[in-house]
Structure 1
Amino acid sequence: MLAVFERLALDAGRVIMEVFHSKMTVEEKADCSPVTEADRAAEKLILEGLRAEFPDIPCVAEEEASEGIKAPALGRAFFLIDPLDGTKEFVKGNADFTVNIALIRGDVPEIGVVYAPCSGRFFSGRPGRAETITIGEDLTIAGRRKISVRDGRTPLTIVASRSHRTPETDAFIRKIEAAEIVSVGSSLKFCLLAAGEADVYPRFSRTMEWDTAAGDAILRAAGGTTKTTDGKPLVYGKRNQTHDADFANPSFIATGRVSGAPWF
């Protein structure tokens, strides 16, 4: 399954980069967020691939959801797909957008890939092993290296959203003395923690499960955690929520190995 994820992510990345280097058309969705032909083409490619390989596993994908296509009954396992996470950065010409594909099993993100086609950074995770993948000039996999979270350092390195900073995020950062701040877009924030390049990712603005599942799977495979602000693990497959839409996440804090964390 992970090999299929990796192949589809690379293929989706090719489609996305063709649009990135052309004159793209940007539309506005019902929630006022942008969408481009790259989002739709990449999602179509990924969904066709997953449904052909794994016809019995339901798919939940961002653009289908935004178009009002009702998500199927999920069962114990299902896929979450964000074909182009960081569309705002993509439209601005920034490089931090990613392709995200994840398997959820029993409300836990179990397998995931995150591919940043502009920079070539590629991460994957499965239970017990997270890797960074080297992409060759022909856009095929040329090598792999195991990664893991690091022990928290002084000062801690916090990764924060470039487009979604909130007063709550700034207040959280102020609580951590002498923290070093790195701004990066999309699900790469989880991956920097997984690769031992950062320590904490606080998120106090709204996300959807397809935004976080793949990066979260990689972080957990690397030894990290993602918890809600009451200290409970972030779960997936959330539907019929009285306070928010299906698949919407609460605030959360993702971490590597940070001893004596002051925020729970």
Structure 2
Amino acid sequence: MSVLIVIPARYASTRYPGKPLVELTGATGKKQSLIKRSWNASMAVSGADKVVVATDDPRIKDHAESFGAEVVMTSETCKNGTERCAEAFDVLGGTFDVVVNLQGDAPLTPAWFIEDLVAGLLANPVAEVATPVLKTEGRALRGFLEDRKAGRVGGTTAVFGANHNALYFSKEVIPYTGKDYADDADTPVFHHVGVYAYRPSALGAYPRWPIGPLEQLEGLEQLRFLEQGAHVLCVEVAARGRQFWELNNPEDVARIETMLAEMDVA
């Protein structure tokens, strides 16, 4: 079973232009770019046969190659990371059994999130796509709610059925809870971790499908699978004491740097 990890990265982000090249300071004071930290996260995953950065920007290409990453150049017409992964998969010959999309704004992704994700997809023959979800504690949930109150688009939440089939993903905080939780108390809200594992057939079909109204409204690429009736499996992963957050807005830099310091990550 061969596994390809693709790190899609674009320079022209609407909310945060140049985001992949933003430097984050770790616990020892060492600065590393967002794309380098995402590359480090990918290289820690066991069972991956190849890891590549997929981009359309020469600045990202040059920087990624400077720290030893393999880069696949993709077109400027890719609308999101999934389309970029599909193009990179084709450029590489389409010979892998599973393609993992580790988005370039998720440097805190632990290796076991991806390892558990691939295992979950392979264990469920009906699933076409799998994606991790992480039960939030009170502290993280407050971060979501504070972002929404301030008008910032923060993390994404997910709801799923008893069989862990995805029902919906949203940039709003769902489900509604209407109560406060202690910092370390479990809540019923699940943080959607922006990583995907695709079977090649689903990944190949994705760019041919039209953008539906839900994807258009939420700006969430995974909703295209749901709108087309694809089986998306939510794999619950364990934090094991690690904090997790994606870099969505400039304000997230300080939040992630604080997490790196608290977890003693260089």
Compare the two structures and name the one with the higher strand fraction: 1
Compare the two structures and name the one with the higher helix fraction: 2
Structure number with greater CO (CA < 8 Å, separation at least 6) is 2
Asked if Structure 1 and Structure 2 have the same fold, meaning a TM-score greater than 0.5 normalized by the shorter chain, the answer is no
TM-score (norm 2): 0.29
TM-score (norm 1): 0.29
